Amino acid sequence: MTAQIFLIANAADDAGACTKKLEEALAAAPVAAMLLPRGAHSEAGYKALVKGVVGKAQAAGVAVLIEGEPGLVRMLGADGLHVEGGLGEVKAATAALKPDFIVGAGRIASRHDAMSKAELGPDYIFFGPLSGARDPEQREMARWWAEIMQVPSVLSDPAATAETATSEGAEFIALGESLWAAPEGVTARLAAIAAALEAEA
């Protein structure tokens, strides 16, 4: 089964730039979800970003995930919360948002950490960074997880190209920086990556 596309928005983009890039990505392949990192946005700036993206993304069938406090999900009309914190934060998020909203658990430190977070009921386990090159250890953990666990996983590879992208059996592959900076454009880069993933499957 081909991994679904999970986009990580450029943390420096405003709503206009973000939705433009999403439209370019959708011209190449279906997109399951888009994470809007908080980055250096002020609280007001981040809320404006989310509000400006949510409607257009959801209309295109793309789930919008945000960072921050669980209460922001309902307030801003997002589909769920991505948690890069520890067990306490994942537990708080699942308690506040499940089953109505998506909760994802990232910043996985070890196999034990992945299993401990999965026991708290998130909808996905996120292996790898939100930016930068894919970590070989995270890639190996994602492969292990896909082979033996039922909780869906996301393998993050922000720097992926068509030559390097692999899903390692994960249900989703997270893409970001390499798409937004691709000299050939977002649509062409994602189309090439999607073709490579389909060939892998």
Strand-pairing partners, residue 103, are 81
For residues 9 and 37, is the Cβ–Cβ distance under 8 A?
yes
CATH architecture classification, 4-200? Alpha-Beta Barrel (3.20)
pLDDT of residue 156: 97
Name the average pLDDT for the chain: 96
Strand-pairing partners, residue 138, are none
Question: Is a pLDDT exceeding 80 seen at residue 108?
Answer: yes
DSSP 159: T
Q: What integer is the mean pLDDT of 50-64?
A: 98
- Give Cα 126 distance to the centre of its chain: 8
Q: What integer is the mean pLDDT of 74-90?
A: 98
pLDDT of residue 196: 95
- Rounded distance, CA 88 to CA 19, Å? 33
pLDDT of residue 1: 79
pLDDT of residue 190: 98
For residues 89 and 118, is the Cβ–Cβ distance under 8 A?
no
pLDDT of residue 147: 95
For residues 195 and 187, is the Cβ–Cβ distance under 8 A?
no
pLDDT per residue as tens digits for the range 30-39: 999 999 999 9
pLDDT per residue as tens digits for the range 128-169: 999 998 889 999 999 999 999 999 999 999 999 999 999 999
Q: What integer is the mean pLDDT of 49-76?
A: 97
pLDDT of residue 171: 97
* pTM score above 0.85: yes
Q: What integer is the mean pLDDT of 11-24?
A: 96
What does the domain layout of the chain look like in residue ranges?
4-200
- Rounded distance, CA 69 to CA 50, Å? 14
Tokens of 46: 């981040």
pLDDT of residue 192: 97
Q: What integer is the mean pLDDT of 93-104?
A: 98
pLDDT per residue as tens digits for the range 170-192: 999 999 999 999 999 999 999 99
Question: Is a pLDDT exceeding 80 seen at residue 201?
Answer: no
